[in-house]
Homo-oligomer: A and B are copies of this chain.
């Protein structure tokens, strides 16, 4: 198997900005898109960083992402807004939407923004960090194209449908960002690129049998064939797969349905070109002294980290800790980029006529 290449973080960011300017975005837009992608790579979420650039490149080429489109606010109250992304790059629309939710939360205590006609927006949790920097708690969710089979089903009727939530705390926030599937399609792709078999219980094939062949499942999912990724909790109800299915449905209710956009089965492609998002930011200070609440959150996270590990385990982590540790390391020592991904970046550079990474 090919080795990862370690690339200086600033250099990778400059490449991303160069690429998006060459795609036709303004310098400011290119910097915004790169910031979302870099956050994923710095946090060690390799499936959603540079690895996603070829997918975006193709979407821009096909016109399913519209260069120069401006997201529009269709409806607004002091606590809410409905936006139409007009198929702009998801990162640009989502940053605008969470920015609006933050603005409302600062004035009214809470802000909810639903968005339709957007596109793949990167890691859901990026946007919750925008709120966190303002001392706010927040949610970020998106629907995606269909990849998840419902409990007892074999057609892909729901998306990866990630749910992110962040609550300010020290030394790092509680930063939770998880798909409602057992694993993301990004993870299946990474296994497929590496030629590694997947654990049982991640996906079922067209016959409803558990399948560990990542390349086969990646192909069949992208082709929209029956079978797909299982919900969090796995197959059937024994280990509560119906809960993961329900969480995905909740995310779809708050995104595609609430924003009156497309729902997973109506989208083309597994990632979903015309996704909907939902953002909710609120001020913990509504409920008491914000610093005291932050201190209580920090105290609880510390209790969890100090609790006894299971035999053979070194310690307990809280969500966000590993991501911020990875970021510190990668800012210092560089970002490991997988060989297949590096080839894709070179291909993009050649097609756009820009210097490679």
Q: Which of A298-357 contact B (CB under 8 A)?
A: 300, 303-304, 307-313, 315-319
Report how many copies the assembly holds: 2
CB <8 Å contact, A80 and B240: no
CB <8 Å contact, B263 and A300: yes
Q: A80-B110, A232-B232, A308-B226 are in contact. Are A317 and B208 (CB under 8 A)?
A: no
A257 vs B284: C-alpha distance in the bound complex, in angstroms?
A: 10
Contacts of A282 in B (CB 8 A): 80, 112
**Which bracket fits the contact residues of A?**
35 or more
CB distance from A287 to the nearest CB of B (A): 5
Contacts of A309 in B (CB 8 A): 152-154
CB <8 Å contact, A319 and B246: yes
A313 vs B149: C-alpha distance in the bound complex, in angstroms?
A: 13
The 8 A CB mask of A130-150 against B (1 = contact, 0 = none) is 000000010000000000011
Q: Which of A263-285 contact B (CB under 8 A)?
A: 263, 265, 282, 284
Stretch in A6-14, A176-184, A216-224 with 4+ CB within 8 Å of B: A176-184
CB <8 Å contact, A239 and B250: no
CB distance from A319 to the nearest CB of B (A): 5
CB distance from A334 to the nearest CB of B (A): 25
A303 vs B234: C-alpha distance in the bound complex, in angstroms?
A: 21
CB <8 Å contact, A308 and B153: yes
CB <8 Å contact, A286 and B154: no
CB <8 Å contact, A174 and B233: no
Stretch in A17-25, A26-34, A40-48, A199-207 with 4+ CB within 8 Å of B: A199-207
Q: A110-B112, A226-B308, A232-B232 are in contact. Are A151 and B316 (CB under 8 A)?
A: yes
Q: A77-B109, A287-B80 are in contact. Are A165 and B250 (CB under 8 A)?
A: yes
The 8 A CB mask of A151-162 against B (1 = contact, 0 = none) is 111110110000
CB distance from A280 to the nearest CB of B (A): 8
CB distance from A83 to the nearest CB of B (A): 10
A82 vs B289: C-alpha distance in the bound complex, in angstroms?
A: 12
Most buried by B among A79, A149, A252, A303: A79
The 8 A CB mask of A238-271 against B (1 = contact, 0 = none) is 1110111111011011101111100101000000
Q: Say if the beta carbon of A5 comes within 8 Å of chain B.
A: no
A82 vs B285: C-alpha distance in the bound complex, in angstroms?
A: 11
Q: Say if the beta carbon of A172 comes within 8 Å of chain B.
A: no
Q: A75-B288, A167-B253, A257-B300 are in contact. List 12 more A-B contacts (CB 8 A).
A: A75-B286, A78-B109, A79-B286, A82-B288, A137-B258, A152-B316, A157-B303, A242-B317, A246-B319, A247-B247, A256-B300, A260-B288
